[in-house]
Amino acid sequence: MIMRGAILMALVLLVGCAEERVDEAPLRPVRTLSVAVSEVDAARELPGRLEAAANRRLSFRVAGQLEAHRVAVGETVAAGQLLARLEATDLRLQRDRARSALAGAEAAAANAEAEWQRARRLFEAGSAPARDLDAARAQREAALARRDSARDALALAERQLSFTRLEAPGDCRVATRLAEAGENVAAGLPVLVLACGDELEVRAALSEDLLGELSAGAPVRVHLPLAGLSVAGEVTEIGLPVDPRQATWPLRVALSGLSSAERVALRPGMAAELTLPLNGPQSGIWVPMAAVQRDARGAYVYVADVEAPASGGEGREATIRRRDVELGDQRGERMRIDAGLAEGMSLVVAGMSRLHDGQRVRVMDAHREARQ
């Protein structure tokens, strides 16, 4: 009996020690905003890049090996100036062969012409039958046709040889070199990009939420930080996505009313900031996009039911509740909530990972209103 009692007492002591070692898991910290109705400014900032309105992508009309570039990036070129050249040994040989063929065809045509003239005189003198005259005429016409064909072949060979030279279409500036000496280039493959003319424009990518807000002719304010300029612009084109996997539309904005001094200060490739005028300020519940999550049931957010100050630590204890919401417009990094939230709710905006409905958390910050 004494031994059994000692064993029971030891087990009780061990269980007590184990219970003392069990600590409660710390509450997960989150940050919240107090939901409130606010207005979001209609203006929207959009990054872009300054480009020449007339960019020319130049290519050779024949395939070959690029022998040399005659210009450097950034260099100003004049109309007709040689920009690049292909290695043209094969085409020169073809031209020389066409010249030789033409010389032979011209000699044959001259001989056929002399034979026909001789046959004609003999026929008129009654010394040759008509069939000899007809045969001489046929030989003359065939020789003339071969001569004309040889001339065309030489013209084609010389034309092909001229295609190995790439010349400037006008007064431009070299923007990019897309191939280097020694590379084999296909016919029609761009090897140089030129920025031509004095007209400038800004190109940007328009997101889907702004697609219905702008149209051609809309005024835009353009800020160019590097040049320290802010100028007026006008939407000239809203294109279609080149890549179907991209949900952006190419936007082109022309710069109007630039002075001579401003044109000198601007260079293609400069960063630009577009201020897009939208359809007036919008009132509603606007929340950070980071607070909105999605799953198979749709869009939702987490709100915190704050209960009391946390025991033995910073912040307040709260219980997480999931709220399904209906989304409205997007303005930058903020999203309008059309249904599912009410003023005064504590919206969880940080620490959302691995949260679930009914979880207890620690709210680490004082309430701030969800205003812009």
pLDDT in tens, 39-49: 665 567 788 88
φ/ψ (deg, to 5) at 121: -65, -40
Q: How many CB atoms lie within 10 A of CB 173?
A: 17
Task: State mean pLDDT over 319-335.
Answer: 77
pLDDT at 131 over 80: yes
CA distances from residue 177 to 62, 65, 95 in whole angstroms, order as listed: 18, 15, 30
What are 280's two structure tokens? 């007036």
Out of 2-11, 54-63, 263-272, 312-321, pick the least confident: 2-11
Burial of 34 (0-12, 13-18, 19+ CB in 10 A): middle
How large is the average pLDDT for residues 146-152? 94
Distance CA 363, CA 348 (A): 9
**Predicted pLDDT at 222:** 87
Cα–Cα nearest to 90, from 102, 98, 81: 98
Residue 29 has pLDDT above 70, yes or no: yes
Highest-pLDDT range among 69-73, 211-215, 216-220: 69-73
The mean pLDDT value for 67-94 works out to 90
**Residue 333 phi, psi dihedral angles, 5° rounding:** -100, 20
pLDDT exceeds 60 at position 372: no
190, 59 in Cβ contact below 8 A? yes
pLDDT at 16: 54
Whether the pLDDT of residue 56 is over 70: the answer is yes
The single-letter code of the amino acid at 10 is A
320-340: string of b/e by CB count within 10 Å (b at 16+)? bbbbebebebbbeebbbbeeb
Average pLDDT score, the chain: 80
Question: What's the rounded mean pLDDT across residues 85-93?
Answer: 92
Cα 155 to Cα 149: distance, rounded to the nearest angstrom: 10
Structure tokens at 294: 């999605």
Closest C-alpha among 57, 50, 334, 54 to residue 204:
50
Q: How much is the pLDDT for 21?
A: 45
Which one is predicted more confidently, 355 or 184?
184
